[in-house]
Amino acid sequence: MIEVRTERQARALVLGATILGTGGGGSPSRGLAAILDALRRGLPVRIVDVGELPEEGFAVTAYNVGSIAPGAAAARERRIADPLRRAVEELEKVLGGRVAAIVPNEMGGGNTAAALSLAAELGVPAVDGDLVGRAAPEVHQCSAIVAGVPLCPSAAVTASGDVVVVKEYASIDDYEAVVRHLSVLGGGRAAVADTPMRRGEAARAVVRGTVSRAMRVGEEVLRAREEGRGPVAAATRALGGWRVFEGVVERYEWRDEGGFLLGEAVVRGTGEYRGRTLRTWIKNEHIMVWVDGEPAVMPPDLFSLLRDDGEPVTNTELKVGDKVHGVAAKAPEIWRTPEGLRYFGPRHFGFDYDYVPVEELVERALRATR
């Protein structure tokens, strides 16, 4: 078991989770504030491996659905103070008892931290793992689906007062449409509790060790800053990844549509990448990346933009003129399977490419410059 006890640990966790969040994953400032509030109130923030879950009871995921576009959360009368907790309470009514643990649904400075702080509020542990291994825009990108674990029953709650229990869904497309539409009705966001799992199901479905990985990545960046070493290089090493670009954001166009931030950013190369151009297609998160028109990172592999100090730039905050480094890493193996690629590969997002792993794309790029 891991316990987050200090502000330093909380900062490292949120920093690393935001890097793994690939441009999305919620607000890191709100996520950090939630964990620090739990610590100040003396609530233990405990993180356990799947194997430490009790045999009885359910672990459930709890997360927010909606667009990350600036201003996407429209002002509406707030009737429910804590929609995420209410969603878990509504799901507990369906399950007939209290949940045993909270599983983060994805990695991200906001959503991972929200799951951990909620677990502390409820007096249960959070799981050292999640259902993506990065952040992802749609309900489809859930490892439980690939593992054959149903996401329902579930509960979805908006701050404006909608409370919906979903007993079954005809298809994952329908379930995505239901919760996404609720987020739009709710002014931009809906809180969801779903994927109730016994320990054996969680062992199949959860991408294990991602919360502790986030803590390690964040700690390496913090230590590199303190020691005057390169924080971007430290983050890249901790991820086991590659720095694939450096430059200045030349263009960033986005729109808030259908419960998503949809957009494209263009980065003009500097340093060793001078004269080159990176383009990234965004659906809340960075999904598909090209350098000089050639694929550089394909989904489901990870791509994040970091500042010189290793601080990740979310797509909510990204702006023209930002100096950034593009860092890539491998997706968890579950997403590289045929079933995983069905829900998270390039063709799922409408791109006419067969998936090529990022390590092969990096090698191709190196050969082209030799």
Q: What is the pLDDT of residues 30-74, one digit of tens each?
A: 999 999 999 999 999 999 999 999 988 999 999 999 988 886 665
CA 26/CA 255 separation, integer angstroms? 17
Q: How many other β-carbons are positioned within 10 Å of the β-carbon of residue 359? A: 15
**Domain region containing 266:** 240-369
| β-pair type (129-130, 101-103) | unpaired
Q: Could you say which residues of the chain have pLDDT below 50?
A: none
List the beta bridge partners of residue 246: 325
Residue 249 lies in a domain: yes
Residue 208 lies in a domain: no
> Helix (H, G, I), strand (E, B), or coil: what is residue 262?
strand
DSSP state of 312: B
pLDDT in tens, 187-242: 889 999 999 999 999 999 999 999 999 999 999 999 999 999 999 999 999 999 99
Q: Tell me the HSE value of 242 on the side-chain side, using a 13 A CA sphere.
A: 16
Residue 280 lies in a domain: yes
In whole angstroms, how far apart are CA 151 and each of 222, 234, 249, 256? Answer: 36, 36, 38, 26
Nearest CA among 68, 51, 67 for reference residue 59: 51
| β-pair type (294-297, 242-257) | unpaired
Residue pair 206/199 in contact by the 8 Å Cβ criterion: no
- Residue 75's pLDDT is 54
> Helix (H, G, I), strand (E, B), or coil: what is residue 61?
strand
- φ, ψ dihedrals at 361, nearest 5°: -65, -40
The CATH number that applies at residue 315 is 2.40.390
Residue 265 lies in a domain: yes
Residue 117 lies in a domain: no
Residue 262 lies in a domain: yes
Burial 215-227 (b: 16+ CB within 10 A, else e): bebbbbbbebeee
Domain count, the chain: 1
- For 83-98, give the DSSP string: HHHHHHHHHHHHHTS-
In whole angstroms, how far apart are CA 335 and each of 91, 160, 332, 343, 344? Answer: 28, 35, 6, 8, 7
Residue pair 205/127 in contact by the 8 Å Cβ criterion: no
Tokens 């990844």 correspond to what residue?
Answer: 241
Residue 308 lies in a domain: yes
| β-pair type (126-127, 45-48) | parallel
Residue 135 lies in a domain: no
Q: What is the largest CA-CA distance in the chain?
A: 63
- Residue 70's pLDDT is 84
pTM: 0.96
Tokens 């979805």 correspond to what residue?
Answer: 156
